[in-house]
Amino acid sequence: MKFSILAAVSAIALAATSDAATLKLFNLQDEKGNCRALPLTEYGTCYTVSEFYLPRSASFLNQDSSASQMTLTFYETGNCGGKYTRASATFPTSSWSSWGKLGSVNGIVGSVMLEKTKVSNGDGSITQYKPATFAQWQNC
């Protein structure tokens, strides 16, 4: 009996720490040049990151088999406010998707949010800022 409970607790802990998705940003087109990766573990969480200047291309890996429709929003400033650009699509599970449109954030990404819904793509600006979790870019 103890083994079954321990196995169940371990499975729950492993599921809680698994990444929903991984984001990679590159400073050159066609996913070349300097690369920074960010594991996204929770939906609806604003991840404030040290600013990544002049991103030119991005890759996105959906690691959640229960979510195919996702929205990824890049914000120019921390706390998910200011100018943003958004990609909303059906992302296949366990395969990389490329996205090269980062223009409206003026070449700076200061925060990122992943949502488990599909909304309209586009650019915009918001004045309301959100509480954020600080996340550290990792080398690719």
Report domain extents, the chain.
Answer: 19-139
Report the chain's mean pLDDT, rounded to a whole number. 79
Name the pLDDT band for 103 (thresholds 50, 70, 90).
low
pLDDT at 80: 93
Residue 14 has pLDDT above 70, yes or no: no
Name the pLDDT band for 87 (thresholds 50, 70, 90).
confident
The Cα angle at residue 85 between residues 23 and 69, in degrees rounded to 5: 60
Which residues have C-beta within 8 Å of that of residue 54, sequence separation ≥ 6?
27, 107, 108
Q: By the 8 A CB rule, do 89 and 70 touch?
A: yes
pLDDT at 49: 87
Name the pLDDT band for 27 (thresholds 50, 70, 90).
confident
